[in-house]
Amino acid sequence: MPVWDDVIPANERPVFDSAGMGVTRVGFGRKPALVIVDMSYAFVDSAFPLGDSRVGWPAVAAIQRLQAAAREAGMPIFYSTAVWKASRIETGLWKRTPEVHRALQDPKAYEIVAELAPRTGEPVVLKNVPSAFFGTDLLRMLVMHGVDTVILTGMSTSGCVYATGVDAFSNGFRTVIPEEAVADRSGIAHKVSLFNFHMKYGDVVPLDEVLAYVRRAMSHDNSTVSPVGR
C-alpha cells in the first residue's frame, strides 16, 4: 500500500487516473548514481531547530543500506549539504527567524552525519538553495559518469529532496525515490510530496526494490533495464 493512501482523498484519485498519472513507471536505467541530499545534523537531529530525530535517524539507517550496496557495486555516490552565510544576500530569502539563523552558525549543523560520512572520491556539493543541482557541479559530474538514473535520498522530502528530484527530471534523468530513505518533519507534507512526485516526475518505490536494482544494474546485466513508461 502506498504511503500516501491515507492522505489523498478518494474523490481526487480519478483526476490522476484519467490523466494516466502514476499508472506507468519511468523505470530504472543502465547507469545509476546515488544522491544523498542534506543528511546533516541540522536536519537529522532534533538538537537543531530544523532537525527531527524521530524521522531523521530511521532515514539514516535506510540510506546506510543503500550506501553500502552502492559502494560494493562501485556506483557513483554524491552528497549535498549547505554552508552557513552571515549575509542575507548570500543566504537567500529563506523563511527563518533570526534565532534559527543564529542556531545554524554551529559548524556541526551542516556536517553530514557520521553514519553516512563520505569517503574519498565521493563528492560533496555545497548549496544555499533547495536543489542540489542549482549552482553546483552535480549535473556535470553525473554526465561525466554517464549516469541515466538518479536514486534520490535524504531530507527533507517536501523541500530539498523534492526540488532536487524535479531538477533531476528536468535534466533528463530517470529519478527513483526509495520510500524509506527520505524523511520530513511533517508527515503530511512527506506523503503528499511523494504522491505528487510519483504521479508526475519519477518513481517512488520500496527500498528493497531499489537495493535489488542496484545489485542487478551494477552487475552489467542490461537485460534487466526497464523501458520508459511515459
Which positions are catalytic?
160
Given a contact cutoff of 8 angstroms between Cβ atoms, the answer to whether 216 and 181 are in contact is: no
Instruction: Quote the longest CA-to-CA distance of the chain.
Output: 54
Specify the long-range contacts of residues 143-146, CB closer than 8 Å, at least 24 apart. Answer: 145/31, 145/33, 145/76, 146/31
- Nearest one of 58, 26, 50, 143 to 99, comparing CA atoms: 50
From first CA to last CA, the distance across the chain in angstroms is 22
**68 vs 211: CA distance, rounded Å:** 10
**157 vs 164: CA distance, rounded Å:** 10
Can you state the percent helix, strand and coil of the chain, rounding each to 5? 45, 15, 40
